[in-house]
Structure 1
Amino acid sequence: MRPRRLLVVDDDRLLCELVRTTFELEGYEVDSAYDVIEAERSLAESRPDAILLDIGLPGIDGIFYLERLRETPQTSKIPIVAISGSDEAGRAARAAGAEAFLRKPFSPLELLALITPLIREAGFGTMGTGSDVVDAANLNRLIEIGRRQHQLLNEAYAQTVAVLASALESRDFGTSRHSRRVTSYATRLTLEVAPRLLDDPSLEWGFLLHDVGKIAIPDGILLKPGRLTPPERRRMQEHAELGERLLAHVPLLNQEGARVIRSHHERWDGNGYPDRLSEESIPLGARIFAVVDALDAMTDMRPYRTPVSWDAAVEEILRCRGGHFDPDVVDGFEACEPDLYSLHMQELAA
């Protein structure tokens, strides 16, 4: 008889491996897809008995993809368990047709206990007898080992990123305080505009390290008190691509965070850099960050100019709605501006 098959759709490769290890011990066959394209390819090749779907997939709205799976005849009856770090996303997933929701982080044993009866109720696969069930104590031990390895690896990546942040701060041009401010502003604005993005742990690191590529920019340009010449400006603009390349092999940053680092100077009207992207081709996290980065640039002291008032900066951002900035993000900015001002005042008082 055919063994039970599980399709895991999640861009977290370590989580996929942990789920695979747990379910294979219970006699499942497990396929992993790290994005929607791989998921569609896997579904075309074989029908799973259940799908584990991360709602925070890069490049697509996970709820939209869930609805598509429910509307497609070949997948409409397959049990789907949605996973996310957001309860709001979980409620949306249940409304879109998911049989169940698990909030990250979760125990693989909890997932196993949830999926097995769903498959049985749907009448898919073959349910193993007691002879192929791994001893619970051994299974728990293996899972704990896997979780600990995952934790240690993430801690190592975090330490690497923290070293880079310290190196950037050592350049002594106000980056430390600027980075902290814009990270808090951007997090609050993301909560207003697209709270699901906050499920991605790389996002906050991307906010914090958005200017990490400036490590490679000469001090004569970086700290110049006057206006940059055209060649100097072009050299300064290289920091976005340099930052992305510098962190390309750090998995902690290879999702939305990396996209923020590369694209936070793109403009809604297509006149930004480095790729001259426009409108919704600009990653959403970068569109959000562009607004708060401009806000802080205008209200903070810089080597080449004095700051403007908070109100003047807000007025300028509203004026640039639909030109420099995404109109929807500016609308969100206007809605939460009192909270951003409170964060600004807290920073001044610190």
Structure 2
Amino acid sequence: MPELEPVTFDYKKEYKRLVENMPVMLWTADATGQWTHVNRSWVEYTGLIGESTGFGFEAALHPDDVAPTLEVWRNAVATEVAYNIEYRLRDTGGNYRWFVVRGRHLIHDIDPSVSWVGTCSDINDQKVAEDEAKLARIAAIRALGLALEVRDRETSGHTDRVTRLAEELGLALGLSASTLEDLKVGSLLHDIGKISISDAVLLKPGPLDAAERIQINTHAVAGEQFAAALGFIPPAALQLVRHHHERWDGAGYPDHLRGEAIPVLARLFAVVDTYDALVSERPYKSAWSRQEAEAELSQQAGQQFDPVMVQAFLRLEAENLLSA
């Protein structure tokens, strides 16, 4: 009886066959971070394979996501930590969808071209739902701020104006998207604590006496407590609500913080809040000119305000980059 030849099984070939036919988008990369293989699902979605000259996936990315994605990927490659990021990928029709991309470094490489393996999973429906929920929260938060303006008749339009100015200054200072979101939320709610102030004090047309000033100053802490009770306001926004009346020289309230001990968003907001108050007409004062308000900010830099924030604000104002 003739001997049967041993059957050999090409594990590497079989692995590649399985990867190629998986219904999810899979990829591999070498030790330098260069993608070395993408499976059929990736190619069918993007229509791209081998077109990129960098790490290997940039050609399919939304332009706004290229820089942050490469930063995270380079850090993962350098430190060999797990890679996890959300970004938008273009399909063959030119449309973008959100994906979460996860990668893991292989400690024992079988193939030197494969030091990283990863997946690319569609999360677009989830992201759309999250964005819609976020917009609903922002609308509710804005409604709270506007409701206060109805009661505090002298500040009509103040909430929207200072929120817009704060966002413009934050963009100029290079704040991240998440920090800008915190800034927006805190700006919309900055005076919400005034709901605890009596009408006799809040609506008084003339100067406040010492006891009334003490009462009005409680709105910062009351505002933080009220906003925190909502259950979804981020910590940085709560800090803005509590500390936007602190002063650079330590003479502010409620905690007499000084200099950089004051949270950065509160320091930023203090400048735009004061500016809008100065250039707005109130029952007890006429509106200042923009030049007069700018001169006051400049004079108070290093005393009431963070000088860096004042400098950035005045630069934008000089270049006509701020909303009127």
CA drift at 1:216: 1.6
- Correspondence list, 1:198-237, <5 A: 199-237=179-217
Gaps of 5+ in 1: 1-85, 125-133, 345-350
2:201·2:212 contact (CA, 8 Å) conserved in 1? yes
Q: Which structure would you say has the larger Rg?
A: 2
| Larger RCO, structures 1/2 (Cα 8 Å, 6+ apart) | 1
2:99 is equivalent to residue 110 of structure 1: yes
Cα 1:255/1:323, change in 2 over 3 Å: same
Q: Deviation digits for residues 117-172 of structure 1, max 9, x if unmatched?
A: x424x559xxxxxxxxx9x9xx86xx677557645654553454244224212215
- CA distance in structure 2 between the aligned counterparts of 1:234 and 1:186, rounded to whole angstroms: 27
State the SS of the aligned residue for 1:253. coil
Contact 1:158–1:252 (8 Å) recurs in 2? no
SS of residue matched to 1:167: helix
Higher mean Cα deviation, 170-179 or 267-276? 170-179
CA distance in 1, matches of 2:129, 2:249: 45
Residues in 2 aligned to 1:145 and 1:232: alpha-carbon distance in whole angstroms: 52
Q: Which residue number corresponds to residue 272 of structure 2?
A: 292
Q: Distance in 2 between matches of 1:104 and 1:206?
A: 27
TM-score by length of 1: 0.59
1:313 maps to 293
Distance, in Å, in 2 between the alignment partners of 1:88 and 1:322 is: 38
What does the per-residue CA deviation read over 1:259-304, in whole Å, with 9 as the maximum and x for residues that have no partner? Answer: 1111110111111011111111111111001011111111111222
* Residues 157 and 250, structure 1, Cα contact 8 Å, conserved in 2: no
Give 1:242-281 correspondences, 5 Å limit.
Answer: 242-281=222-261
Provide structure 2 residue ranges, at least 5 long, that are not aligned to the other structure.
1-63, 78-82, 90-95, 110-118
C-alpha contact (below 8 Å) 1:154/1:252 kept by paired residues: no
More helix by share: 1
8 A Cα contact 1:267 1:278, kept in partner: yes
Contact 2:267-2:309 at 8 Å conserved across structures: yes
Q: Matches of residues 57-136 of structure 1 in structure 2 within 5 Å?
A: 90=68, 93=71, 97-99=75-77, 102=85, 110-112=99-101, 115-116=102-103, 118-120=104-106, 123=108
What number of residue pairs does the alignment pair up? 245
- Counterpart contact for 1:89–1:196, Cα < 8 Å: no
Q: Could you tell me whether the CA contact under 8 Å between 1:244 and 1:258 is conserved in 2?
A: yes
Q: How high is the sequence identity, in percent, across the aligned residues?
A: 34
Confirm or deny: 8 A CA contact 2:191 2:220 kept in the other structure.
yes
Cα distance in 2 between the residues matched to 1:88 and 1:316: 42
State how far apart, in whole Å, the 1-side matches of 2:73 and 2:130 are. Answer: 32
TM-score by length of 2: 0.63
Cα 1:97–1:236 shift into 2, 3 Å:
same
CA distance in 2, matches of 1:92, 1:144: 21
